[in-house]
Structure 1
Amino acid sequence: MVATSSGRDGWSSRTGFVLAAVGAAVGLGNLVRFPAEAAANGGGAFVLFYIFCILLIGLPIMLSETLIGRHGQASATESVKKMAAESKASSAWTSLAGLGVLSAFMILAFYCVIGGWVLYYIGIFVSDLFQSGVTGGALVGMTPDDIKAIFPGLLENGGLMAGLDAVFILVTVYFVARGVSGGIEVASVWLMPAFFVLLLGITIYGAFGGAFSEAVTYLFTVDFSKLTGPVMLAAIGQAFFSLSLGVAGMMTYGSYVGRDVNLAKTSTMISFADTSVALIAGLCIFPIVFAAGLSSEGGLGLMFDVLPHAFQSMPAGSLIGLAFFVMVGFAALTSSVSLMEVPTAWAMGKFGLSRHKAAGIVASLALVLGIASAYSFNAISGFHPLGFIPLFEGQGVFDALDSVTAKLFMPIGALLTAIFVGWVADRRLIDSENGLTGGLHQFWRFLVRWLCPLALTAILIVGIFPSVLGG
């Protein structure tokens, strides 16, 4: 165990922290959402503006969250409470972290359901590999309609999804219960390098065996005429969600960081790695899709419908398919670990629980909500918990959890963080933690005080009133 200055368990090294934070940020949004968003919103122009948003919005908010946690050396809520007290500000600012903790828990509940779907497809491709061999195509003997029916068939089986959800949560709680250096960091140190190896390996395979040039043209041809207001807001939103901001994750992970770590440098490394994954993911997925002559349909349909079909016609398709879903599983697991750690750390600080007990309680509650999410696709599909609110009308448990966190809680939490750090917290406390000096410090402060709040307000308004963009 490696202790922080407060005596709590902490990261054993800066590398461990960076890998854990990258694991927290890298998830399904990088692997599926970004390529689809880029392709649908102007290709290279969108990509360039997205990188611009990462630098000017995502990175400043990430550094803000991390420095709050490192200064407080406690759970997210206690860290904000400490900084507010030392800044002679109202303790009500603690609510910004509380909203993040709640968001992390709600996302954990439905995210583990998706993790269960990934486990299901890993099982399919393991079985397929034994049947078709290493060199054969995937899902031999199945028609396109058979493959297309796999995912809807899974969604109709609430019991199976609930069981897979339970397995994924058990794996997640195993690492969280073992502590920061002995569990979370161990998972990240092993899984993230393996993730990058698989990602690069599949990308190289696609470069030689797929329609690589077509994918490059599709994703990165710059057409600034397509960079409209809605497209720019989409890039801002993607940059924000890609880094998993607004869920108190970086506050929590930052609280385990030692005083010898430069937060500005490590936040930049994390943002760079996360953005690189998003860019490479497009070059990993689309060559395979285009080589099979399939649609570049975005979202979960791309992962669970289009890609399995594409693997069928590929040499070594069963092996590549298995490698792909294992890679996705690694990304999903490191993200779920970070999501579970946020409410676990809060429960430990709030109620004085042991880590094992706090993690067990969080996992149990998330499983209950996850089971409800799983059955919202079938047995209780007619139950719309927030149907009385027009924004969430017609949404089941799974979709409601997703919408509430993405459209409301996360943007509000990040917006309050920017206001708190930029306008409320004692400047001397901020200056002592952020690792910036001179002009860079002044520029970062300008971004946090002005640009970030404006951008996050735009994300919030569009989320609540989609008709603003014609949605």
Structure 2
Amino acid sequence: MEKREKFSSRLGFILISAGCAVGLGNVWRFPYITGKYGGAAFVLIYLVFLVILGLPIMVMEFSVGRSSQKSAARSFHALEPAGTKWHFLSYIAIAGNYLLMMFYTTVGGWMLSYVVKMIKGEFTGLDPDAVGAVFNNMLTRPGSMAFWMILTVVISFLVCSLGLQKGVERITKFMMGSLFVILIILCIRSVTLPGAADGAAFYLIPDFSKIKEYGWFDVIFAAMGQAFFTLSLGIGAMAIFGSYIAKDHTLTGESIRICLLDTLVALLAGLIIFPACFAFKVNPGEGPGLVFVTLPNIFNQMAGGRIFGTLFFVFMSFAALSTIIAVFENIISFSIDLFSWKRGKAVAVNLVLIIVLSLPCVFGFNIWSSIAPLGAGSTIQDLEDFIVSNNLLPLGSLGYLLFCTSRYGWGWKNFIAEADAGKGAKFPQWSRIYVSFILPAIVLFIFIMGYIQKFVK
């Protein structure tokens, strides 16, 4: 079996873990629901839940990874008490990583194709309807979509094939660094547009009357959901990076830094989108429409819009690729841990496997568009997303919580000893009752509410 690599630097660990957490949800989900539920007031509630929901589970994932020195495929086997069956959680983790990549690679492909469309000036002179038609036309072409998906998969696995330090760490550092530079350039451009001040005020000044309008329950649940899902917790996507770091620093301190970076990207994305939407009197819509229809329309009207549009989609591609590379690294380490394969073989086998598994999502928009697994208008992508986001993430997170706090699992003492090893912020001892009983109940509540919202409302 190959000797386990380590990160060359602490910065590498923080940036890669943040890169895994910083995904497209930060950009197309966070700004939209922030706008819907009252701007800055929602952001404040979201930040509270990020600390009390996301942070403890992240620390637990990292602890399991660092203590076991294995990926989620074998970490529970290494730490569980003899005779127990906690290792069944590894199946949730493995399924979650593969399923996430079955649709995320397609969206990554959309981003790359839009970089090229922007550079070529495909949107120049188009009216809003024609811009929307470009996106819809792309979805109807399975060959083109498959090409961009395969390109995304090949680029990401090539990075992973170079190894942890030379590939994943070096290239993710560059991408995350560039991502922040591009974000700041786009923010400055957006907030200096004529009429942008109203958008910035809406986004940054809390308006609690909006919360009353929607009802506290809905707003709090939306904030909980976003805080929970933004970090991709529960499928061991983070645990792997715990297994690559030394015990120099506490895992609570490192998790705080990663949450801050993740939130900073989401907040800056909103500072690009809202001022620009207000400046050009465009409704910041929901989901893919925001990124692929609304924003190209705005760049069309903006001086130098083609350059800023290209930069924006380069930023989006880096956000997507940083997540894909991080999850591919996880998938490769599953194969190394389970079958004792060399990295080269793990890359080759999974490259083919992921391409084949990603095709149903591509075809779901065209050849197989008649398949509506979650009711009229739904796609195969919606089903895959639902299985991961509404099932595997909450159930996996519940598994990590119970494993780290129950005396029948790894147990509180082992968890605290691992989490607190090194310099930095310690995991609060007083929170034991909260993370053992209250937090699992909250996660269960999110899981049940996800079903109610999907199938009852």
Letter in 2 for 1:110: F
Identical pairs, percent: 31
**For residue 37 of structure 1, what is the aligned residue in structure 2?**
33
Partner of 1:178: 162
Query: 1:119 is matched with which residue: 96, 112, 115?
Result: 112
Structure 1 length normalisation: TM-score?
0.91
Tell me whether 400-409 or 427-436 shows the greater mean CA deviation.
427-436
Code of the aligned partner of 1:78? R
Relative distance call for 1:331 and 1:210 in structure 2 (3 A) is farther
Aligned mate of 2:48, from 26, 45, 52:
52
Equivalent positions of 1:140-179 (< 5 A) are: 140-179=124-163
Q: Find out whether 1:262 has 2:279 as its counterpart.
A: no
Q: Provide closer, same or farther for how the CA distance between residues 262 and 83 of structure 1 changes in structure 2, counting only shifts above 3 A.
A: same
Tell me, yes or no, if structure 1 residue 193 matches structure 2 residue 177. yes
Q: Is the 8 A contact 2:196 2:275 kept in 1?
A: yes
- The alignment status of 1:318 with 2:311, answered yes or no, reads no
| Paired amino acid for 1:379 | I
Alignment map for 1:329-368 (pairs within 5 Å): 329-368=317-356
Counterpart selection for 1:217 from 191, 194, 201: 201
**SS of 1:378 mapped into structure 2:** coil
Task: Please show how residues 426-445 of structure 1 align to structure 2 within 5 Å.
Answer: 426-435=411-420, 440-445=427-432
1:363-403 superposed Cα distances (whole Å, 9 cap, x missing partner): 2111112122111101111235xx4xxx6787432221111
Render the CA deviation track for 1:146-177: whole Å, top value 9, x for unaligned: 21211000000011000100000000101112
Counterpart residue number, 2:395: 412
Give the corresponding residue for 2:69: 73
Look up the match of 1:204: 188
Give the distance between the partners of 2:157 and 2:325, measured in 1 at CA. 7
Aligned to 2:368: 380
Report deviation, 1:7: 4.2
User: What count of residue pairs does the alignment treat as equivalent?
Assistant: 448
Q: CA deviation at 1:345?
A: 0.8
Structure 2 residue aligned with 1:235? 223
Q: Give 1:219 shift.
A: 2.4
Q: Distance in 2 between matches of 1:364 and 1:438?
A: 42
Is contact 2:420-2:426 (8 Å) kept? no
CA offset digits 1:261-282 (Å, max 9, x no partner): 3211111100111111111111
Q: Which residue of 1 aligns with 2:439?
A: 452
The 1:89/1:254 distance shift into structure 2, 3 A limit, reads: farther
Instruction: Tell me, in whole angstroms, the C-alpha distance in 2 between the residues paired with 1:172 and 1:306.
Output: 28
Q: Which amino acid aligns with 2:69?
A: Q
Residues 1:192 and 1:300: Cα distance change in structure 2 (over 3 Å): same
Letter in 2 for 1:70: R
> CA contact under 8 A between 1:57 and 1:451: conserved in structure 2?
no
Q: TM-score of the superposition, structure 2-length normalised?
A: 0.93
Letter paired with 1:399? D
Paired residues of 1:264 and 1:434 also in contact (CA < 8 A): yes
Deviation at 1:440, TM superposition (A): 4.8
> How far apart, in 1, do the equivalents of 2:335 and 2:394 lie?
23
Alignment of 1:281-320 (within 5 A): 281-320=269-308
Which position in structure 2 is the counterpart of 1:132?
Answer: none
Q: Report the equivalent of 1:403.
A: 386
Structure 1 counterpart of 2:403, which letter?
Answer: F
Instruction: Measure, in 2, the Cα distance between the counterparts of 1:249 and 1:45.
Output: 30
Match of 1:12 among 2, 8, 21: 8
Distance 1:449 1:282 in 2: 35
How far, CA to CA, are the matches of 2:272 and 2:109 in structure 1?
23
Tell me how far apart the structure 2 counterparts of residues 295 and 126 of structure 1 sit (CA, whole Å): 25
Taking the aligned partners of 1:439 and 1:398, their CA distance within structure 2 comes to 40
| Alpha-carbon displacement from aligned partner over 1:13-68 (angstroms, at most 9, x marks no partner) | 11110010010000101111001111112322221111000100100000000000
Change in 2 beyond 3 A, CA 1:446/1:272: farther
- Does the alignment pair 1:63 with 2:63? no
Amino acid at match of 1:422: T
CA contact (8 A) 2:253 2:426 kept: no
2:449 pairs with 1:462? yes
> C-alpha displacement at 1:451, in angstroms?
3.0
Q: Cα 1:460–1:333, aligned 2, differ >3 Å: closer, same or farther?
A: same
Partners of 1:44 and 1:219 within 8 A in 2? yes
The RMSD of aligned alpha carbons is 2.0
Whole-angstrom distance in 2 between the partners of 1:89 and 1:26: 38
Q: Secondary structure at the match of 2:245?
A: coil
One-letter amino acid matched to 2:342: S
Q: Deviations over 1:242-287 (max 9, x none)?
A: 1111121111111111122321111110011111111111111111
Residue in structure 2 matched with residue 135 of structure 1 by the alignment: none
Give unmatched runs, 5+ long, in structure 2.
Answer: none
SS where residue 458 of structure 1 aligns? helix
Query: Structure 1 stretch 76-85 or stretch 394-403: which is displaced more?
Result: 394-403
- In 2, the alpha carbon distance for the partners of 1:393 and 1:411 equals 26
Contact 1:41-1:227 within 8 A present in 2 as well = no
Does the 8 Å CA contact 1:421/1:448 hold for their aligned counterparts? no
Q: What is the identity, as a one-letter code, of the residue corresponding to 1:184?
A: V
User: After TM superposition, where is structure 1 displaced by more than 6 Å over at least 4 residues in a row?
Assistant: 436-439
**Structure 2 CA distance for partners of 1:318 and 1:439, relative to 1, 3 Å:** closer
* Match of residue 134 from structure 1: none
Structure 1 residues 281 and 192: alpha-carbon distance in aligned structure 2, compared to 1, 3 A threshold? same
